[in-house]
Amino acid sequence: MLVTLEGIDGAGKTTVLSALSDAYPEAVVTREPSESWYGEAVERSIAAPDSDSLAELFLFLADHADHLGRVVQPALADGALVIADRYVDSRIAYQGATLGDEVKRPMEYIRGIHEPFTRMPDLTLYLDIDPETAAERAGATNKMEHVDFLADVRANYERLIDAEPDRFVRIDATQPPEEVIAVAEETLARVVDET
């Protein structure tokens, strides 16, 4: 089973991921951008203020292809529970915002280039937070962590949730961390029990 954690920067994914890793020590816990050299290339692009948005999308996509083939698919084939900190939805929400007018209908375009090869998640925990609180928490360490941009990304996540309401579970990430963790753990336990 593939579970993903999504949300804008500063939503608190790291805290939730660490709690879920403790609750499911046998799970394969992973992330995008990944730890590979593809992931390092992505990190370089994110750190550069003037990267080309389309080129950046394809770096993220290359990292996803490698991560999928090297980590996610083998773990799923072994019957493991895979928990990924960011995945396809991050691309659709974030690069859907960075691409702007560079391509027509960017969200559809990004979804379309993943569709022929990816494996979509069974469950996505979406940590929902307002962009102001999120940007304050994230500390604006890169170009993605600014209020206006995060507001656009959040709007894109809302479109994704509207399109697939059954896959997403929205968690109010403005609650105290213990409560956010409790809801995430309960949701995952329920879905794991059902499968």
Site of interaction with ligand TMP (CB under 6 A): 9, 32-33, 46, 60, 86, 90-91, 94-95, 142, 144
Instruction: Work out how close the CB of 112 gets to ligand TMP at its nearest, in angstroms, rounded to a whole number.
Output: 15
Strands annotated E in 52-172: 82-85, 123-128, 168-172
Q: Which is nearer to ligand TMP, 62 or 192 (CB)?
A: 62
Encoded tokens for 164? 């697939």
Q: Which is nearer to ligand TMP, 56 or 181 (CB)?
A: 56
Instruction: Work out how close the CB of 60 gets to ligand TMP at its nearest, in angstroms, rounded to a whole number.
Output: 4
Q: Which is nearer to ligand TMP, 146 or 167 (CB)?
A: 146
Going by their DSSP bridges, the two strands 2-6 and 123-128 should be labelled as parallel
Instruction: Work out how close the CB of 194 gets to ligand TMP at its nearest, in angstroms, rounded to a whole number.
Output: 27
Peptide bond preceding 33 in cis form (omega within 30 of 0): yes
Q: Which is nearer to ligand TMP, 91 or 154 (CB)?
A: 91
Instruction: Work out how close the CB of 166 gets to ligand TMP at its nearest, in angstroms, rounded to a whole number.
Output: 22
Distance CA 7, CA 144 (A): 12
- DSSP track, 158-195: HHHHHH-TTTEEEEETTS-HHHHHHHHHHHHHHHHHH-
